[in-house]
Amino acid sequence: MSAYRSLDDLDVAGKRVLVRVDFNAPMKDGVITDATRLERALPTIDALSGKGAKVVLLSHFGRPKGAPNPDMSLRPVAAALSKIGDQDVAFADDCIGAAAAEAVAALGEGDILLLENTRFHAGEERNDPDFAKALSVNGDIYVNDAFSAAHRAHASTEGLARLLPAAAGKAMERELDYLGAALGAPERPLACVVGGAKVSTKIELLLNLVGKADALIVGGGMANTFLFAEGVSVGKSLCEPDLADTAREIMEQAAANSCEIVLPTDVVVAREFKEGAARQVVAADATPTDQMILDLGPETVDRIADVIDRAKTLVWNGPLGAFEIPPFDTATVEAARYAAKRVKAAGLTAVAGGGDTVAALNHAGVADDFSYVSTAGGAFLEWLEGKELPGVEALKR
């Protein structure tokens, strides 16, 4: 039996179902510019509506600091959702009080309503019990479909789940299933790719992964700090010398747990970080003092491919180089495409997440070819760090 109730466990016909979604989507001039988060909520919305539920959607948008802000209203999102889902979505000017109650009372079976930004009330981010109760009076059942907000103990993500029968939505369930398969009980060998600029932002993540993975591939700017910790000069590269001891501790923990650490053996260096800059490939321990490491070299990419070849499960977070500017995107693109190829050809389970990661995989054209790509950002990182997520814990049976 699953640790969480799902939509299949619920009798929702005629019931008011409060659904926590994450519609904090990019918007310009009142128009949603990327509807991915809206689209991912549709399976849950459609399933509930199709079963005759009165679907009441809750979401935050932006950082209004606990007060109404017309620039952060969800009204344009209701219009966008109506077009995407091909069903009218009503809108209420508040998420509690008379405006919400009247809009909910007007719903028929199968109707959909989006309430105004939960963060227009200070009680949301404080997880205020009175605010959670004010939300709960408009629902009979609570469904959380917003994994991306599950690392926050807010009224609409944690408090509400304590007041009503609670279940995971389809997007939440899918995320939990894949994340559980990737780190909870992975098919081994398990390889992890961790890139990005700084070790300082991923210390807990790295320490957690070396205790779980069979191989840890370190790329991006953070690899420079590991090289520096091994006594290698990295020239003018991005580096955190004050974290050399931390890097050594991570490598020691990896050795103690029989986790192979894969560091660059060759790198791409340049004097300038700009498109088309003159560059060269050098050994990782031969970086010129007046140049900076901006990507991994071909020998290192081949080593990464070998690790991926052996892996049955792959977890990816962060780019391997300065992928935003060609030609320093080569290692990220080649390794990502190779992983996607192994998913198709060898049944590799490849799970990825994090803001830069999603952008990098989209850049490589393989985001749709990985087994699962999480758009959850902070929640995905905290899960990688081994932390309990309040919004998930509150759903447990």
Catalytic residue status for 355: yes
Bridging pattern class, strands 279-283 and 266-270: antiparallel
> What phi-psi label fits residue 371: left (phi over 0), alpha (psi between -120 and 50 degrees) or beta?
alpha
Q: Which of 133, 198, 312, 337 is catalytic?
A: 198
Closest to 191 (Cα-Cα) out of 218, 169, 217 = 217
* Cα 352 from Cα 192, distance rounded (Å): 10
> What phi-psi label fits residue 220: left (phi over 0), alpha (psi between -120 and 50 degrees) or beta?
left
Q: Which of 16, 37, 40, 342 is catalytic?
A: 37
Bridging pattern class, strands 141-144 and 16-20: parallel
* Cα 393 from Cα 162, distance rounded (Å): 10
* Cα 276 from Cα 272, distance rounded (Å): 9
Q: Which of 97, 110, 180, 378 is catalytic?
A: 378
Q: Is the peptide bond before 390 cis (omega within 30 degrees of 0)?
A: no
Catalytic residue status for 211: no
For residue 95, the SS3 value is coil
Beta pairing partners, 266: 283
Catalytic residue status for 337: no
Catalytic residue status for 30: no
Q: How far is CA 202 from the centre of its chain?
A: 14
Q: Which of 52, 62, 110, 355 is catalytic?
A: 355
Q: Which residues are catalytic?
A: 37, 198, 355, 378
